[in-house]
Amino acid sequence: MKAIVVHQCGGPEQLHYQEATTPVAGPGQARVKISHAGVNFIDIYFRMGLYKADLPMIVGMEASGIVESVGEGVTEVAVGDRVAYAGPRGSYAEYAVVPAWQLVKVPAGVSDSLAAAAMLQGMTAHYLTHSTFPLQQGHTCLVHAAAGGAGQCIVQMAKRRGARIIATVGTPAKAELAREAGADEVILYDEVDFAAETRRLTEGKGVDVVYDSVGASTFLKSLDSLRPRGMMVTFGNASGPVPAVEPLLLNAKGSLFLTRPTLAHHIATREELLWRAGDVLSWIANGDLKLSIHHTYPLSDARQAQEDLAARKTTGKLLLAV
């Protein structure tokens, strides 16, 4: 099969479109013939070596497709099922072998491309807004990179839960997208001090929660944007990883809560996976959640897709058509 393989961690030039061995489903596993693979920032962290994996590796952690074969003991899916998943690595490829319990059947009314686009960023937005800090009416949240793939999903789900949303973005065009997704206020954080502006927009109080996927460049000012006893959710490193933090800093900034969550721990059981994926896919099917696909690249252009994502050139979701 064709796949995108990394033999050595480094820049985008380390993504090689080449022949690879077609995997075989073992007990409890299913082989998926991939239709679309999602491109996510985490794929860049693995390629760079910021997140560790054994080499060589096939990149990519999200896809949709058809179950082509199943191993012994599989009960969750059957050959011919249209499925999607997020988590197991190896999706930038024609085939992937995935633990069957991690596959979700895609409902009629959700296309293969939307299913691939929904799983990782959609379920991330779901756990952030429903579990990490369950938003309610009366809450105000600050969402960074709000026109991005994860960002647009967070804004829509925060809106659905009745929260007031202050969003940050890099350009005026992205500000428009954040507003369309439901942001009440939008700050151009490359031009304006977002902590001062957030204080102004909240009459000096600060927000209840910050969802911060940008990392190094926003972390400290995100703390300054919170109300006393507010929650700092640092869930990504788009500008680089956040350096070590002294617990006393959280005291000085207002008895803050700090968490660094990841999706895997929020879809660790089949029950929780089906809850989150079920919500996300049904909201897409009934039009309550809108995913904007920035661009669909051929599998062979995975390098270009990652370069565009890392260069802040994109909004919404990037896909690879396999």
Residues that bind ligand NDP (CB under 6 A): 40-42, 120-121, 124, 145, 147-151, 169-170, 174, 213-214, 217, 235-239, 261-263, 309-310, 312, 314
Residue type, 280: V
Q: Which is nearer to ligand NDP, 31 or 144 (CB)?
A: 144
The residue to which tokens 């596959």 are assigned: 103
Q: Which residues contact 67 (CB under 8 A, 6 or more apart)?
A: 30, 31, 32, 77, 78, 79, 80, 81, 83, 103
Which of 103, 119, 99, 104 has its CA nearest to residue 37?
119
Q: Which is nearer to ligand NDP, 144 or 164 (CB)?
A: 144
Residue 314, CA distances (Å) to 92, 177, 293 in order: 19, 12, 10
**In angstroms, rounded to a whole number, what is the distance separating the alpha carbons of residues 55 and 101?**
25
In whole angstroms, the minimum distance from the beta carbon of 131 to ligand NDP comes to 11
In whole angstroms, the minimum distance from the beta carbon of 35 to ligand NDP comes to 20
Which residues partner with 78 through β-bridges?
none
In whole angstroms, the minimum distance from the beta carbon of 40 to ligand NDP comes to 4
In whole angstroms, the minimum distance from the beta carbon of 203 to ligand NDP comes to 26
Q: Which is nearer to ligand NDP, 16 or 295 (CB)?
A: 295
How large is the C-alpha radius of gyration of the chain? 20
Q: Which is nearer to ligand NDP, 77 or 277 (CB)?
A: 277
In whole angstroms, the minimum distance from the beta carbon of 218 to ligand NDP comes to 8
Q: Which is nearer to ligand NDP, 202 or 237 (CB)?
A: 237
In whole angstroms, the minimum distance from the beta carbon of 74 to ligand NDP comes to 27
And the tokens for 200? 């102004």
Q: Which is nearer to ligand NDP, 20 or 104 (CB)?
A: 104
**In angstroms, rounded to a whole number, what is the distance separating the alpha carbons of residues 38 and 58?**
13
**In angstroms, rounded to a whole number, what is the distance separating the alpha carbons of residues 61 and 52?**
14
